[in-house]
Amino acid sequence: MKEFKHENILHKRHFDLQFSIRFEVVDDVNFYSPFHWHNHIEILYVLEGKIDFKIEQRKYVLGDGDMIIINSEVIHSSKLCGHARYILLQVPLSAFEGVYEEIENVVLKERPTSQEAEKLFAYLSKMLKSVDDKRKENRIKFVSLLYDFFYQLLTLYKVEQKKSGATSYYGINRISPVMAYVEKEFRNKISLGDAADILNVTPEHMCRLFKKYTDMTFNEYLMSLRISAFYQMLQNSDQKISVIMDECGLTNYKVFIREFKKTFGKTPEQVREERRKSSL
């Protein structure tokens, strides 16, 4: 299943720095985040549970003690398989302005080994402790640990290659207006022609641009947003499936079921039944 959108990172300002980060322990059940991208480096460490990850065309299954590193401006998605707890750290590239400008061209190793993940987890644990300690002096401690953590990443886990043009900021940013439009209007009837008009290009050229910079078609992206919205509504309401489909802009039942099963491995009815049983 191919899909993505530009993610608006939830800013969690622990301290009054020149940049905002997200750093927390997340405890959730069956959460699904469709393909998206952002200008942050993201690190996720699984404390408990199982998470399916996809970065561009690469698939990973994360379990207890596993870590994933997501480079900035790279398309990725995640899906929790039931209950999961994990540490999430998202740091913007702006955190390195005036310190390490080369960060924009750095590619970090996506999948650390178990031993590597354990060493990096030790830094994250210290960072969590400094956040929990409310003494103002620990602001300094946290910042020092944060940069020390990235020093380890940049010296030990840097891949000697530059980001490809297809995943560069220019490439993704070029079609950002289209992505924003589709994210806003996906519940309504929209077409490739509508998207092409935004960039003032032909539908054929729009199709090539979208495929080049996202490795997916425009219709695949549109379907992914609709399925994601459907899944969230399915988890949080008792409305009829046909009603939810209509609210999410899904009109072709056969195509929808095929794509839903491809993403979640089961039908909407099965997902709803599992939710019902778990709540008993």
The residue ranking higher by pLDDT, 24 or 166, is 24
Element (H, E) at 26: strand 22-29
Q: Please check whether residue 130 lies inside any domain of the structure.
A: yes
Q: Please check whether residue 231 lies inside any domain of the structure.
A: yes
Average pLDDT over residues 215-236: 91
Q: Does residue 180 share a domain with residue 133? A: no
Q: What is the CATH number of the domain that holds 267?
A: 1.10.10.60
Residues 199 and 178 sit within 8 Å (Cβ to Cβ): yes
Q: Does residue 206 share a domain with residue 139? A: no
Each residue's pLDDT tens digit, 59-78: 999 999 999 999 998 888 89
Q: Does residue 112 share a domain with residue 203? A: no
Q: Does residue 74 share a domain with residue 100? A: yes
Question: Residue 10: what pLDDT?
Answer: 47
Q: The whole model's pTM is what?
A: 0.76
Domain boundaries, position 68: 22-159
Strand segments, DSSP code E, in 173-270 are: none
Residue 55 three-state SS: strand
Q: Are strands 76-80 and 32-36 parallel, antiparallel or unpaired?
A: antiparallel
Each residue's pLDDT tens digit, 194-209: 999 999 999 999 999 8
Q: Which of 51, 69, 76, 71 lies closest to 61, judged by CA?
A: 51
Q: Please check whether residue 1 lies inside any domain of the structure.
A: no
Q: What is the CATH number of the domain that holds 154?
A: 2.60.120.10
Q: Does residue 134 share a domain with residue 59? A: yes
Distance in angstroms (rounded) separating the CA atoms of residues 144 and 223: 43
Domain end (from 125, 159, 193): 159
Average pLDDT, the chain: 87
Q: At what angle do helices 218-236 and 176-185 cross, to 10 degrees?
A: 40
Q: Please check whether residue 13 lies inside any domain of the structure.
A: no
Tell me how far CA of residue 21 lies from CA of 93, 95, 122, 146, 184, in angstroms: 10, 9, 19, 10, 25
The total of other beta-carbon atoms located within 10 Å of residue 276's CB is: 10
Residue 2 three-state SS: coil
Residues 246 and 56 sit within 8 Å (Cβ to Cβ): no
| pLDDT greater than 60 at residue 249 | yes
Average pLDDT over residues 216-228: 92
Exposure string over 150-171, b if 16+ CB within 10 A, otherwise e:
beebeeebeeeeebeeebbeeb
Q: Does residue 258 share a domain with residue 188? A: yes
Domain end (from 119, 135, 159): 159
Q: Does residue 100 share a domain with residue 198? A: no
| pLDDT greater than 60 at residue 1 | no
Domain end (from 126, 159, 192): 159
Overall number of domains in the chain: 2
The residue ranking higher by pLDDT, 174 or 205, is 205
Q: Does residue 26 share a domain with residue 64? A: yes
Each residue's pLDDT tens digit, 144-164: 999 999 999 999 999 866 555
Q: Does residue 213 share a domain with residue 243? A: yes
